[in-house]
Amino acid sequence: MALLRLRNTKGPNAAEIERKIKRGNALRQGSSWRGSRGLLALLLVALCVSTVAAWLYLASLDGDITETLASQREMILPQPRVYSVQCSEDYENYKRYPGCTPQKCGRAVTDGVVTSEEAQALRRLAERGLALAGSEGGVNISHTQILIPRKLKSLFTCSINTKKKVVMKTYFGEQIADVFTEEDFKLYRDVRGRIQAVIAETFGLDRTLMYLTKPTFFSRINSTAAKTQHDEYWHPHIDKETYGSFDYTSLLYLSDYGSDFTGGRFVFMDQNGNRTVEPRAGRVSFFSSGSENLHRVEKVSWGIRYAITVSFTCNPSHAISDPSLP
Ligand SMILES: O=C(O)CCC(=O)C(=O)O
Ligand SMILES: [Fe+2]
């Protein structure tokens, strides 16, 4: 009986104490778990913040894409979109030609000069010519160009090289007449004339004092790896340095960024960031050719990109005539 009483009096207390101990332990465990969870969350936040900061820092070092001057989706009409930049001193090293030598420098983009039908026709022309170039030359290079020489006795294929002007030559002689018709040349001449007019108007030039110069060429770029250094079209360059005679460069795009190819945007590399032009069939982008317009073309990652480079000089001794049948 006494034993029973003792157990009865001690029993409930012991159980109560045990419960309290257990609850205390559980609470302590819970709070230490909560504490380490908080610490983990804090660490995660710190990690995220430092990753974002590092990414922003690297992006700023890399001078990554900062602005799109012309996106593929928009139509820039009827006036060109003009972006002025200060002229570099490059032009001081060359004879000045009043009415032509750049006094106003910059770049501009217009979709109002070449229709999409014209761009399509020129693209077919480029495909025909470049197919011939590929098979004749026996080369399969990622960036092929057809130069349009002074007298169209022959066509060359070559690839862009930022140091040397003409790199690889393949002659087509008489085959030109099989590939291009008089109508093709007329189309080229018309388009060239309109491009010249818009450049003259935009930069306040006398268009009769600007001359077509070489190289003027079609280009086809795909994503095949470059086989030689000459295929490396993506290097930053200044056209006046690369080609010598250029005072104004224009590019007529014959395919669409995003649907015909990816990558391949044109990038102006300014000190305070990059400015891009997204190719669009029929779009003309033009700019003064000095070092105020350092640029590059992004690597094409998929598809085929067609363009025509049409260049102008102020120096009549560097003038070439429009291509025509021999
Ligand atoms: O095709 C382009 O967008 C530019 C090519 C270029 O920079 C050049 O021909 O000098
Ligand atoms: Fe260029």
Q: What is the pLDDT of residues 225-247, one digit of tens each?
A: 776 666 677 889 999 998 889 99
Q: Domain end: 62, 81, 99, which one?
A: 62
Ligand with an atom nearest the CA of residue 300: 1
Catalytic residue list contains 305:
yes
- In this prediction, residue 26 carries a pLDDT of 58
What is the mean predicted confidence (pLDDT) over 206-218? 90
Q: Are residues 17 and 159 in the same domain?
A: no
| pLDDT-derived band at 21, boundaries 50, 70, 90 | low
Residues 293 and 171 in one domain: yes
Nearest CA to ligand 1 atom 3: 266
- Res 24: pLDDT: 59
Q: Could you tell me if residue 324 is inside a domain?
A: no
Quick check: helix, strand or coil at residue 256?
coil
User: Could you tell me if 20 and 155 lie in one domain?
Assistant: no
ipTM for the whole predicted complex goes beyond 0.85 = yes
Q: What percent of the chain has pLDDT over 90?
A: 48
Spatial neighbors of 72 by CB under 8 A, at least 6 apart, are: 256, 257, 258, 278, 279, 280
- DSSP category for residue 304: -
Provide the domain count of the chain.
2
- Whether residue 159 is found in the same domain as residue 87: yes
Q: Is 236 part of a structural domain of the chain?
A: yes
Residue 215: closest CA among 239, 187, 184? 239
Q: Is the peptide bond before 279 cis (omega within 30 degrees of 0)?
A: no
Taking all residues of the chain, what is their mean pLDDT, rounded to a whole number?
A: 78
Note residues around ion ligand 2 (Cβ under 5 angstroms): 239
Residue 243 CA, closest ligand 1 atom number: 10
Asked whether residue 155 is assigned to any structural domain, the reply reads yes
82 in the same domain as 113? yes
Q: Which of 8-17, 44-53, 59-68, 288-297: highest mean pLDDT?
A: 288-297
As a 3-state breakdown, the chain gives helix, strand, coil percent values, each rounded to 5, of: 40, 25, 35
pLDDT digits 0-9 by tens, 140-164: 223 444 444 333 333 333 333 333 3
User: Is 248 in the same domain as 263?
Assistant: yes
Residue 149 and residue 111 share a domain: yes
Given pLDDT bands bounded at 50, 70 and 90, which one contains residue 166? very low
CA of 94 to the centre of ligand 1 (A): 23
Write out the residue range of the structural domain in which residue 149 sits: 66-318
Is 323 within a domain? no
Cα of 149 vs centre of ligand 1, distance in Å, is: 18
Q: Which ligand is closest in space to the CA of residue 297? A: 1
Tokens of 254: 């014959």
> What is the mean pLDDT of the segment spanning 178-201?
91
Q: Are residues 237 and 292 in the same domain?
A: yes
User: Does 28 score more than 60 pLDDT?
Assistant: no
Q: pLDDT band at residue 176, thresholds of 50, 70 and 90?
A: low
Closest CA to 70 of 265, 222, 249: 265
Mapped onto helix, strand or coil, the DSSP state of residue 45 is: helix
pLDDT at 57: 55
**CA of 67: how far to CAs of 63, 144, 210, 268, 274, in Å?**
11, 29, 31, 10, 6
Q: Which of 309, 311, 312 to mutate to test the pocket of ligand 1 (most atoms within 8 A of CB)?
A: 309
Contact assessment for residue 134 and residue 320, using Cβ atoms and an 8 Å cutoff: no
60: amino acid identity, one letter: S
Identify the CATH number of the domain in which residue 139 sits.
2.60.120.620
Arithmetic mean of pLDDT, 44-70: 70
Does residue 205 surpass a pLDDT of 50? yes
**pLDDT of 124 strictly over 80:** yes
Residue 325 falls inside a structural domain = no
Cβ atoms of 265 and 253 within 8 Å: the answer is: no
Between 93 and 2, the more confident residue is 93
Give the pocket of ligand 1 (CB within 6 Å).
Answer: 160, 219, 239, 251, 266, 295, 297, 307, 309
Is the model's pLDDT at 84 over the cut of 90?
A: yes
pLDDT tens for 293-309 read 999 999 999 999 999 99
Instruction: State in Å: Cα 6 to ligand 2 middle.
Output: 102
Ligand 1 atom nearest residue 279's Cα: 3
Within 10 A of 115 (CB to CB), how many other CB atoms are there?
13
* pLDDT of 236: 92
Distance between CA 309 and CA 218 in Å, rounded? 6
Tell me, what's the pLDDT at 151?
A: 34
Measure 297 CA to ligand 1 centroid, in angstroms: 7
Q: Could you check whether the bond before residue 78 is cis, i.e. omega within 30 degrees of 0?
A: yes
